[in-house]
Amino acid sequence: MELFLNFLASGLVIGSIYGLIAIGFAVIFKTTGVLNFAQGEVMMLVAYVSWSLATELDLPLVLLIPLVVVAAAAIGALLERIFIRPMLGEPVFAIIMVTIGLAVTLRSVIVLIWGADAAAFDVPLKGGLIEIGPVVLFTEQLFAIVLFLVVALAIFLFFRFTRIGTAMRATAQDETTALLMGVDVKRISMLAWAIAAVVSGLAGIAFAMMISRAPDMWFLGLRAFPATILGGLDAPLGSGLGGLLIGVIGDLSEGYIGQGLKEISGFVVIIVILMVRPYGLFGQRELERV
């Protein structure tokens, strides 16, 4: 039992990271219909910028986090303005392709600025041990889980109760009608990118604190991709839960079966689930009319 709980906790930790990135994927997809292949790279960029902020300014976490949120939002909005906005109205495939180009570009830019070496992300929070019953976690690992819960709640409240959140949902449902109702659709796309950058950026920071900030972090984006499909691409919260599930299933199957199944188990689950629910666990069923 003790072992099981520890596997579970370990899976939740990495699952929280996947979940946060998956929320980033879903927010952009839900509002603009674009699958952002550069999500992992945006996450990495935010993590690197935060790392520089943290090491240069030596701020406590309470101040660092708000600063990072602002920086991440700016990064997301800026990327959208420069690379995505000019493509508005073009085929979705072309825009997806632009995000692939953006991904390649960002990867190189990061190494150009920060070099190829991995470095530790040290913040005052790091290094403490917390025991919850038989489960042992580092403070930064617990931080990742807490972060996930807070962000998920914030996203839920945002979309449900704020004016702009409602506007985003409206745009997702019917862009033209939203436009007619006075929603500034262009701003919505920028906002989606900003939110996605903040959410996935926080995941990047949590991950960098746990492992290190390194130029191959972008790969996490691809790992979180299945999570968002599992939860439903158009369901931010569902995608988040999908991340948790993928993390937990991975660690449990590694723990009890082994054979490198950690990576595969999530995919097997996805195939099985999509057979039953072809639109993801929490995705919306599309009604089609001819």
Partner 1 sequence: MRTGHYVESYEKQLALTTNPVTWAWTGALLLGLALFPLLVGNYLLSVAITVGIAAIGAIGLNLLTGITGLISLGQAGFLAAGCYTTALLVADYGWPPELALLAAGFVSALLSLVIGVPSLRLKGLYLAITTLAFSFIITHFLLYAEALTHGPYGVRVENLRFLGLDLTQLDQLFWLVLAVLVLTVLAALNLLRTRVGRAFTAIRDHDVAARVMGISLTRYKLAAFMVSSFVVGIAGGLMAFQFRFINVDLFNLLISIEALAMIIVGGLGSVAGSILGAVFIVLLPEAVRALTDLLPAALTEMLSTYVYEVRGLLTGLAIIVMLRIEPHGLIGLWRDAKRYWTHWPLSV
Partner 2 sequence: MKRVFGSTAIAALAVVASVSVAAAAEQGVTDGEIVIGNVLPMSSSAALVGRAAHFGSVVAADEANAEGGVNGRKIVIKTEDDGYVPARTVQGLRKLMDEGVFGLIGTGAGAGTAAILPILEQEKIPAIVSFSPLKAAIDPVKPTVFMIGASYQDLVFAQLKYIHDKVAKKGARYGIIRQDDDFGVQVEGAFQRAVKELGITAVEPVRYKRGQKDFGAEILKLRAEKIDVLVAGGVTSETPAMMKEASKYKMDLAMATVPTSTLPPIMGLAAPYGYVYYSGDYISPMGSEGAAHFTEVAKASLSEDELKAVNRYSLTGYVAARMMIEAIRRCGKEPTRACAVEQLQSGKPFDTAGVTLPLTFTPERHISATAVRVLKVDPKAGSVTPVTDFAEY
Binders in 242-271 for partner 1, by CB under 8 A: 259-260, 263-264, 267-268, 270-271
The three-class DSSP label of residue 124 is coil
Q: Which of 95, 123, 254, 282 binds partner 2 (CB under 8 A)?
A: 254
Which of 80, 49, 79 has its CA nearest to residue 67? Answer: 49
Total residues contacting partner 1 by CB under 8 A comes to 44
Beta bridge mates, 138: 129
Nearer to partner 2, 30 or 262 (CB): 262
Q: Which of 212, 273, 274, 284 binds partner 2 (CB under 8 A)?
A: 212
Q: Could you give the maximum distance between any two Cα atoms of the chain, in Å?
A: 60
Pick one of partner 2, partner 1, none as the site partner of residue 120 (Cβ within 5 to 8 A by kind): partner 2
Q: Which of 58, 90, 117, 174 binds partner 2 (CB under 8 A)?
A: 117
Q: What is the pattern of x (binds partner 2, CB under 8 A) and - over residues 192-211?
A: ---------------x--xx
Minimum Å gap between C-beta 273 and partner 2 is 22
Binding of partner 1 at residue 196 (CB under 8 A)?
A: no
**Which phi and psi (to 5°) does residue 124 adopt?**
-55, -25
Minimum Å gap between C-beta 26 and partner 1 is 11
Minimum Å gap between C-beta 111 and partner 2 is 8
